[in-house]
Amino acid sequence: MTRTALIENLTAMLEDAGFMVSDRCSTRPKSFDIAARRREDLLLVKVLANVDAFDGPTGREMRRLGTYLAGTPLLIGLRSRDEDLKPGVVYFRHGVPVVNPDTALDLFVHGVPPLIYAAPGGLYVNIDGDVLADEREQRGWSLGRLATELGVSRRTVSKYEDGMNASVEVAAQLEDMFDGGLTSPVSVLDGAEDIREAEPTPDDPEVTPEDEPIVAVLTRIGFDVHPTERAPFNAVSEDTRRADNLLTGHSAFTEAAVKRARIMSSLGHITRTRAVYFVDDASRESIDDTAIIERDEIADVDDPDEFRDMIGERSRPPDP
């Protein structure tokens, strides 16, 4: 299956699951391919046939964007260099959860979350330690008795009951012993943070010289500007006074700029942000719902409300 066909199939699947899906991000380079929203769940989805092609800079940018846009970065792929990705298993690349299309279908269409995740050393599951302790105590078993039955140390059983995850083989033994489910699902929509060590949001990249004038203006107006390196927009800008974001881009007013502005408009609706594109000279004030603003127009603006009024006159606000 080609990558284009894979993206089209996943887009159709997400729409069947009740997601609104953005236009495909067709600019290069690109940190993600589509954004999708279902109620409060926002996904930033990268699609690759071979997930080993997913590199560190892309992973760091997807994680940053997930933080600034309150969404979950997700990589969907078919295989790695060594093997096909298994259904029902969550993998990780550079801190981003990875699933295959079958796992995504089960999760988003059928509401069946994965129970297994891959980590160094094999496949693991979340053990509900409280349930395990209750089951053991109801049988009158000591920690030592359960350890003997499992062929592990007493200390290991104690760690399971304290929340340490177990291998798939141990989990299967426990469920056979106690004739019930002791595992809890992997929270993919929360970035699967329950099964990996919490890592801080990667630092923003340095502002490039060509970006500095726009960043300076936005900062003066009252925005925290987070530059991007591989997105179809140059930055996510957060209003320091309000819980609002902007997707901002800038360049000469070319056909490529028009294409990016259309993508930004589509992404703005999905991410619930406004989109603004700065140019030197333009013959129109908007492209879809991306406001087009000439640089000279904001040269002397220092009031965020004046700036927002300018945007509001040129674009429709994102859906709530």
pLDDT in tens, 118-168: 998 899 998 888 999 999 999 899 999 999 999 999 999 999 999 888 999
Q: Span 206-211, mean pLDDT?
A: 91
Checking if the pLDDT of 204 tops 90, the result is yes
The tokens describing 112, both together, are 């069946």
Instruction: Look up residue 204 and give its amino acid.
Output: D
* Rounded Cα gap, residues 41 and 74, in angstroms: 12
243 and 180 share a domain?
A: no
- Which residue do the tokens 């980590």 mark? 119
182 pLDDT exceeds 90?
Answer: no
Q: Which two tokens stand for residue 27?
A: 């600019």
Tell me how far apart the alpha carbons of residues 274 and 278 are, in angstroms, rounded to a whole number. Answer: 13
Looking at the structure, do residues 28 and 88 belong to the same domain, yes or no? yes
pLDDT at 197: 64
Token digits of residue 121: 């050393």
- Dig out the tokens for 161 from the structure: 């009951």
Say whether both 24 and 90 belong to one domain: yes
For 53, which DSSP code?
Answer: G
**Quick one: 218 and 164 in the same domain?**
no
Residue 233 inside a domain? The answer is yes
Distance of CA 258 to the CA centre of its chain: 26
Does residue 246 contact residue 264 with C-beta atoms inside 8 Å? no
Domain count, the chain: 3
Give residue 175's domain range: 123-184
pLDDT band at 318 (very low <50, low <70, confident <90, very high): confident
Residues 91, 160: one domain? no
Per-residue pLDDT averaged across 74-79, rounded? 97
Identify the domain boundary among 66, 93, 114. 114
**Distance from C-alpha of 89 to C-alpha of 127, rounded to nearest angstrom:** 15
Same-domain pairing of 102 and 141: no
Under a CB-based contact definition with an 8 Å cutoff, are residues 310 and 285 in contact? no
